[in-house]
């Protein structure tokens, strides 16, 4: 799929601006703090309805405005689509797809697929397990609508169960405690479904990424999904027998919300032993593998958003990436357009200054 047009009104430092993109390479360049990442953030919003920089939608609205309106036009295999997002300071954001308002975020996810690479994405291999679960949850939600629905149910049950556990911690109540077993049934049912989805996704991702990683760096690469449970029965049994401990601690101790991914380069845990360059290669391999999987399963390549990463790659990795993104749509940001090594004949160059295209 590819994005043709992006219109921003009152978004971050953009008053009113319209971008036109080519289905190939687009380079947003300009000095620091001019609005390059803001434009990528806007595009990303159409993919999952949330920013990669903030949980607070209000922050997206220009300082001196009361609302922001974003509009995108993109092409998929079937047709031209439009999505509009309006965020007001005092209301829930409103989203329309092809002019029809949607009521649930689940209706948006998976329509417009992007993959983001940025220096912050190195958290995927360097950061806490939370960053890796987030990666899995977003990747799977984009590819499997059913996953997103189960995840929502799981989180709801988890929240209710945690509330009950917190209550029981301060005021013991035998009857209320009995209802925990009902939550255990639900939590283990949804939980094991999430674990199964994640496991099979990671197995496939491993197949794709180890090859790409080898091509990028010549090094061995491995990822494994790490879960405490193999079956629903095992998960439920653990919950049933841990109730006292959980009440003492005040929250749910077991389940896929605490799972992780193990990632190894050259047989060593990357989180503990990885060099800066090894982290970059791993994240690049994972993201490119994810893009290939989306292509294989959905018949469409996602739009690649590369924020500030070219300057961080050595010439071998940069050349590999440039080769890999040929014939795909990419939107790249950088301070100096020359660093990408493409002329204006090969790429669509967009110069940004102070929230304006100049």
Ligand X SMILES: Nc1ncnc2c1ncn2[C@@H]1O[C@H](COP(=O)(O)OP(=O)(O)OP(=O)(O)O)[C@@H](O)[C@H]1O
- Of residues 119 and 172, the one with the C-beta less far from ligand X: 119
| Among the listed residues 25, 26, 34, 37, the single contact to Mg ion using CB under 5 A | 37
Region from 33-41, 150-158, 171-179, 293-301 binding Mg ion, contact rule CB under 5 A = 33-41
Please state the closest distance from residue 164 (CB atom) to Mg ion, in A: 44
- The CA-to-CA distance between both ends of the chain, in Å, stands at 27
Residue 68 found at the interface with Mg ion (CB under 5 A): no
Please select the residue that binds ligand X; options are 25, 26, 34, 278, rule is CB under 6 A. Answer: 34
Quote the CA–CA distance of 141 and 147 in Å, as a whole number. 6
d(C-alpha 96, C-alpha 94), whole Å: 7
Q: How far is the CB of 111 from ligand X (least distance, A)?
A: 24
- Mutual angle of helices 145-170 and 174-217, in 10-degree steps: 140
Q: Which long-range contacts (CB under 8 A, 24 or more apart) does 184-187 make?
A: 184/236, 184/239, 184/240, 185/236, 186/153, 186/157, 187/154, 187/157, 187/158, 187/161, 187/235, 187/239, 187/252, 187/255
The residues, ordered by sequence, that sit 6+ positions from 42 with a Cβ below 8 Å of its Cβ are 6, 8, 11, 12, 70
Nearer to ligand X, 30 or 191 (CB): 30
- Contact segment (CB under 6 A) with ligand X among 28-36, 70-78, 167-175, 319-327 equals 28-36
The residues in 289-318 that bind ligand X, with binding defined as CB under 6 A, are 308
* Residue closer to ligand X (CB basis): 33 or 176: 33
Site for Mg ion in 257-316 (CB under 5 A): none
Given 21, 29, 35, 83, the residue binding ligand X (CB under 6 A): 35
Stretch that binds Mg ion, among 2-10, 30-38, 293-301, 314-322 (CB under 5 A): 30-38
Residue numbers 42-101 binding ligand X by CB under 6 A: 59, 61-63
Q: Residue 205 and residue 197: Cα distance in Å, rounded?
A: 12
> 174-217 vs 129-143: helix axis angle to the nearest 10?
80
- In this structure, the number of other CB atoms found within 10 A of the CB of residue 346 comes to 12
**Size of interface with ligand X, in residues (CB under 6 A):** 16
Report the nearest approach of ligand X to the CB of residue 64 (Å): 8
d(CA 347, CA 137): 33
Q: Is 25 a residue that touches Mg ion (CB under 5 A)?
A: no
Positions that interact with ligand X (CB under 6 A): 12-13, 30, 32-38, 59, 61-63, 308, 335
């Amino acid at each position: 799929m590819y994005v043709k047009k992006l219109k921003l009104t009152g978004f971050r430092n953009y008053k009113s601006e319209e971008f036109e993109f080519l289905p190939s390479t687009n380079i947003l360049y300009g000095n620091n703090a001019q609005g390059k990442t803001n434009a990528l953030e806007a595009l990303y919003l159409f993919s999952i309805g949330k920013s990669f920089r903030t949980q607070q939608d209000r922050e997206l609205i220009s300082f001196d405005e009361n609302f922001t309106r974003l509009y995108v036009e993109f092409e998929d295999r079937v047709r031209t689509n439009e999505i509009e997002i309006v965020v007001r300071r005092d209301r829930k954001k409103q989203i329309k797809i092809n002019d029809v308002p949607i009521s649930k975020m689940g209706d948006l996810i998976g329509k417009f697929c992007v993959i983001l690479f940025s220096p912050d994405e190195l958290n995927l291999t360097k950061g806490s397990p939370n960053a890796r679960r987030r990666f899995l949850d977003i990747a799977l939600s984009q590819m499997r609508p059913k996953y997103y629905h189960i995840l929502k149910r799981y989180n709801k049950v988890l929240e209710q169960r945690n509330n009950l556990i917190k209550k029981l911690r301060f005021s013991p109540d035998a009857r209320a405690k009995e209802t925990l077993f009902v939550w255990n049934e639900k939590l283990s049912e949804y939980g094991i479904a999430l674990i199964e989805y994640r496991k099979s996704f990671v197995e496939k991702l491993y197949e794709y990424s180890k090859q790409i990683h080898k091509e990028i760096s010549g090094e061995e690469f491995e990822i494994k999904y790490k879960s405490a449970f193999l079956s629903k029965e095992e998960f439920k049994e653990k919950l049933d027998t841990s109730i006292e401990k959980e009440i003492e601690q005040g929250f749910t101790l077991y389940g896929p919300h605490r799972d992780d991914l193990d990632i190894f380069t050259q047989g060593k845990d990357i989180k503990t032993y990885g060099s800066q360059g090894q982290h970059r290669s791993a994240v690049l391999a994972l993201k490119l593998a994810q893009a290939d999987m989306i292509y294989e399963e959905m018949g469409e390549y996602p739009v690649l958003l590369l924020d500030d990463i070219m300057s961080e790659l050595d010439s071998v990795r940069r050349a590999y990436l440039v080769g890999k993104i040929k014939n795909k749509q990419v939107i790249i940001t950088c301070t100096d357009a020359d660093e990408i090594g493409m002329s204006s004949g090969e790429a669509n160059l967009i110069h940004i200054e102070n929230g304006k295209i100049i």
